[in-house]
Amino acid sequence: MSGPEEELRRLRDEVKEAEESAEEAREGAEGAQESAHEAQEGAQEAREGAEGALVGAEGAAGRAQRAAREAEHHELTTEERSKEFLVDRRPAEDAENAYGTPGRPLKRASAFYMGFMGAVGALLAFWIGQQILSIRSILVLILVAAFLAVGLNPAVEFFLRRGMKRPWAVLTVSLGVLAALTLFVVAVVPLITSQVTTITEEAPSWAEAMRSNATFQSLDDRYGIVDRVKETFQGGQFASAAFGGVLNAGLAVLGAIANAFVILVLMLYFLASLPAIKRFFYRFAPATRRERVTYLGDQILANVGSYVSGAFVVATVAGLASLVFLFSVGLGEYAIALAAVVAILDVIPMIGATLGALIVTAIAFATDPKIGLVTLVFYIVYQQFENYVVYPRVMGRAVDIPGSLIVVAALVGAGLLGVVGALLAVPTAAAIQLITKEVFLPQQEVR
């Protein structure tokens, strides 16, 4: 029995020794691993130290080079420094910051920066406003020419739809306009001038005839109206009061002719290059919205063209109706001149036809009270016919805006730019209404 027990004990001792040896080997391996990790950390620290030393050495070298350059530049004479400054320097094309290292940006939150830039902006805006006011008359001519060009564009589009090239279409429309103006000047202007002269000569006798009216007689006794009218027309003071004398009257006529020529030339240029002008301004819109801006802009221009054509039609109808009526009631001696006045004033929206009717009615009453009464009734009836039949049919598609807005727009336009402002007021109001309807109101609905 002693033999197996000894053998078992010996085996246990060997197993125990083997376990102790394995434990010692594991501890030795862990120690070796820790030593390797410490060695790796030491190597990393040594590498970082070497890199820091290298950076320090490079910085020291750079500082030394800059110090050397500064010392060399400091030793230059004044003449040499001037010559060096005048030498052209061309930056390297591929170098970073070829034009020098950018400085730090200004602090926009600074009170000084904000105040300075605000003052500069206010002065710049004031200066621009003054310059615009100084060329106001030129801007009005440009605006009128552009307005007429847009108004004649539907006629050009008419010829384009029939296969004609745009230059030939513009030439055809321009020749038609020039022919119409020439015919008006040659055939109608002399008659108008003659009839205006007749009206001027007859005005004192009309004023004398009105003395039979009791109300007018009392006013004349108090203020001497008839005597003043006679002195004005018979003494030649009418032209002086209207134009400031013969010289100023001639200058006014020359100025009007020059302005008409400028408007005509600009109108032809705008009409010929209208598509290019539209594309140029549409490019200012962002690319994502350019298509919508193009549609709205084209619609606004189409409305302006329709309005100009419609206004011409309405004014022509008013002038022809007045011409026929004046010949029929016995005022043929002044019919052409008064019909021209009605047609010209009828272009002004809402109030122009009324002003023309008042002028014609006043002259009719001065000629014969019965004719004056008939004239008053005629224009009251015709005004209703124009407002409810002619104007809606002609202008309904072009400027579909409320009548109250037309009146307000005409008054505001007349206050800003006179007759030109009154003419431009309605299409401008229609454009604002379209933009409000298509842009502003949909945005408000989304909020």
Q: What is the pLDDT of residue 209?
A: 62
Q: What is the pLDDT of residue 219?
A: 63
Rounded Cα distance, 177 and 328, in Å: 31
> Is the per-residue pLDDT at 260 higher than 80?
yes
Rounded Cα distance, 298 and 50, in Å: 72
Q: Decide if 378 contacts 384 (C-beta within 8 A).
A: no
Work out the pLDDT band at 246, boundaries 50, 70, 90: very low
> Is the per-residue pLDDT at 1 higher than 60?
no
Rounded Cα distance, 84 and 358, in Å: 83
Q: What is the pLDDT of residue 239?
A: 47
At 77, is the secondary structure helix, strand, or coil? coil
Nearest to 267, CA basis, from 142, 426, 423, 428: 142
> Is the per-residue pLDDT at 200 higher than 50?
yes
Per-residue model confidence as pLDDT tens digits over 78-93: 555 555 555 555 666 6
pLDDT average, residue stretch 180-190: 69
> Is the per-residue pLDDT at 144 higher than 70?
yes
Alpha carbon 311 to its chain's center: 23
82 burial class (0-12, 13-18, 19+ CB within 10 angstroms)? exposed
Q: Which of 166-170, 249-253, 442-446 is predicted most confidently?
A: 166-170
Rounded Cα distance, 438 and 444, in Å: 11
pLDDT average, residue stretch 407-432: 80
**Cβ atoms < 10 Å from Cβ of 371:** 18
Q: What is the pLDDT of residue 30?
A: 75
Lowest mean pLDDT among 125-129, 291-295, 403-407, 424-428: 403-407
pLDDT average, residue stretch 241-270: 72
**Cβ atoms < 10 Å from Cβ of 435:** 14
Rounded Cα distance, 383 and 122, in Å: 49
Query: What is 82-94 written as a DSSP string?
Result: HHHHHS-----SS
Looking at per-residue pLDDT, the higher value among 37 and 385 belongs to 385
At 332, list the tokens: 């043929």
Work out the pLDDT band at 123, boundaries 50, 70, 90: very high
Q: What is the pLDDT of residue 191?
A: 61
Look at the alpha carbons of 158, 162, 166, 168 in this order and tell me if their dihedral is positive or negative: negative
> Is the per-residue pLDDT at 242 higher than 50?
no
Q: What is the pLDDT of residue 2?
A: 54
Per-residue model confidence as pLDDT tens digits over 367-412: 777 888 888 899 899 888 887 777 777 776 666 777 677 778 877 8
Q: Decide if 208 contacts 225 (C-beta within 8 A).
A: no
Query: What is 273-316 written as a DSSP string?
Result: THHHHHHHHHTTS-TTTHHHHHHHHHHHHHHHHHHHHHHHHHHH
- How far is the CA of 309 from the CAs of 136, 306, 419, in angstroms? 27, 5, 18
> Is the per-residue pLDDT at 419 higher than 80?
no
Lowest mean pLDDT among 7-11, 63-67, 170-174, 418-422: 63-67
Q: Which of 94-103, 155-164, 218-227 is predicted most confidently?
A: 155-164
Q: Which of 45-54, 118-127, 149-158, 358-367 is predicted most confidently?
A: 118-127
Per-residue model confidence as pLDDT tens digits over 341-372: 888 888 777 677 788 888 888 888 877 778 88
What is the number of helices (H) and of strands (E) in the chain? 18, 0
Look at the alpha carbons of 208, 210, 212, 214 in this order and tell me if their dihedral is positive or negative: negative
Q: What is the pTM of this model?
A: 0.57
- How far is the CA of 134 from the CAs of 124, 138, 140, in angstroms? 15, 9, 12
Q: What is the pLDDT of residue 443?
A: 80
At 153, list the tokens: 């564009």
At 324, is the secondary structure helix, strand, or coil? helix
Report phi then psi at 164, rounded to 5: -85, 140
User: Over pLDDT 90: what percentage of the chain?
Assistant: 2
Report phi then psi at 445, rounded to 5: -70, -30
Looking at per-residue pLDDT, the higher value among 389 and 164 belongs to 164
Q: What is the pLDDT of residue 190?
A: 66
Buried b (16+ CB within 10 A) or exposed e, 394-419: bbeebbebeeebbeebbeebbeebee
